[in-house]
Amino acid sequence: MTILEALNYGSKQLSFAQSPKKEAALLMSFLLKKDRKWILLNEDKEFLRAYEFFDLVNKRANKTPLEYILGSVSFYSKEFEIKEGVLIPRPETELLIDRAVELLKDLNSPLIIEIGTGSGVVAIMLATLLKDSKIVATDISLKAIALAKRNAQLHGVSEKITFVHTSMLDGISGEFDLLVSNPPYISNDAKLDDSVLQEPHLALFGGDTGDEFLKELIFKAKEKRVSKYIACEMGYDQKEAMKETLNAAKASFVSFYKDLAGLDRGFSAMLF
């Protein structure tokens, strides 16, 4: 079997994917530790690692997310480690970072708290983009905290981020300039792709209607006066619920933003 024949077989097995040929090539690149250009230039050569390649293809065909297999994810034009049991960052979360930077760009040495850091990408990018920032990043998952610490080391910002294993704001004290969060906001009965369901449910599902976690976070942040500003990602259908919640919390300067598909995706506001 040649490299090309193996790729063609892999593509057929991954026909459910958005880009079967690309995914098959990525899996082969990962296995051989060669770039895609090398693979294209050697398509007619005998492929000696077919069984290993087919094992990777079968794992992906069983709906294991590609990022878990490769062990990496691209986010904000940088590469981060990712592992099973930790939420895979999505491109739309890059917009949350943009909103946070916009809110803090005129502050010297901003203090930030992130709730639900996951793989750490939000905290790490904010530490990178806001040079004098200090960040506390929390998560209820020890596996996520360990991975986030690893990613912070890889990107050279460990000294700017304190990672805390806790639930929401439990045990958090002090006053921050910004609370930022990409929380679980999917409703418990939502129908999701099998590959998405292999990600940690605690990081996906926010309650019966999906917005319960967000509502609780807003009121707790207000009650504890933990942060002047708040910026959160949300579900595309939660704008009205968030408006009502922020109004009830007597927030001001409420602003919503859309993702690249034109869907409501997040908000920012001043809590006090």
CATH of the domain at 207: 3.40.50.150
48 & 176 share domain: no
203 close to 151: Cβ distance less than 8 angstroms: no
- For residue 159, CA distances in Å to 62, 122, 131, 140, 143 come to 40, 16, 12, 21, 20
Work out the average pLDDT over 8-22.
95
Work out the average pLDDT over 217-221.
97
pLDDT at 259: 96
Mapping DSSP to helix (H, G, I), strand (E, B) and coil, where does residue 166 land? Answer: coil
pLDDT at 174: 87
Question: How far is the C-alpha of 185 from the C-alpha of 238, rounded, in Å?
Answer: 9
Q: Give yes or no for residue 262 having a pLDDT over 90.
A: yes
23 & 117 share domain: no
168 & 246 share domain: yes
Q: Which residues of 85-109 are buried (b: 16+ CB within 10 A; e: fewer)?
A: ebbbbeebbbbbbbbbbebbeeeee
Work out the average pLDDT over 95-116.
96
Quick one: which of 153, 151, 154, 99 has its CA closest to 130? Answer: 99
Mapping DSSP to helix (H, G, I), strand (E, B) and coil, where does residue 10 land? Answer: helix
44 & 95 share domain: no
Average pLDDT, the chain: 96
Residue whose pair of structure tokens reads 């006090």 in the numeric block: 272
H or E segment and range at residue 255: strand 252-258
Question: How far is the C-alpha of 8 from the C-alpha of 117, rounded, in Å?
Answer: 38
Residue 177 resides in a domain: yes
53 & 111 share domain: no
Pairing of strands 264-270, 252-258: antiparallel
55 & 95 share domain: no
Question: How far is the C-alpha of 170 from the C-alpha of 153, rounded, in Å?
Answer: 26
pLDDT tens digits, one per residue of 134-176: 999 999 999 999 999 999 999 999 999 999 999 999 999 889 9
Residue 68 resides in a domain: no
pLDDT at 239: 98
Mapping DSSP to helix (H, G, I), strand (E, B) and coil, where does residue 106 land? Answer: coil
44 & 134 share domain: no
Q: What is the pTM of this model?
A: 0.93
Q: Give yes or no for residue 199 having a pLDDT over 90.
A: yes
Residue 69 resides in a domain: no
93 & 51 share domain: no
pLDDT at 14: 97
pLDDT at 87: 98
pLDDT at 191: 94
40 & 175 share domain: no
pLDDT at 176: 97
169 & 245 share domain: yes
Pairing of strands 186-187, 111-115: unpaired
Q: Give yes or no for residue 80 having a pLDDT over 90.
A: yes
Domain boundary, last residue among 23, 46, 62 = 62
Query: What string of DSSP letters covers 175-234?
Result: -EEEEEE----EETT----TTGGGS-GGGTEEESSS-HHHHHHHHHHHHHT-EEEEEEE-
112 & 237 share domain: yes
Provide φ and ψ at 59, rounded to 5°. Answer: -65, -45
Work out the average pLDDT over 16-37.
95
Q: Give yes or no for residue 127 having a pLDDT over 90.
A: yes
Residue 13 resides in a domain: yes
Work out the average pLDDT over 80-103.
97
Residue 57 resides in a domain: yes
Work out the average pLDDT over 215-232.
96
Provide φ and ψ at 267, rounded to 5°. Answer: -150, 165
Work out the average pLDDT over 186-210.
95
Work out the average pLDDT over 46-70.
96
Residue 71 resides in a domain: no
Tell me which residue range forms the domain holding 15: 3-62
Residue whose pair of structure tokens reads 């000696």 in the numeric block: 48
Q: Give yes or no for residue 132 having a pLDDT over 90.
A: yes
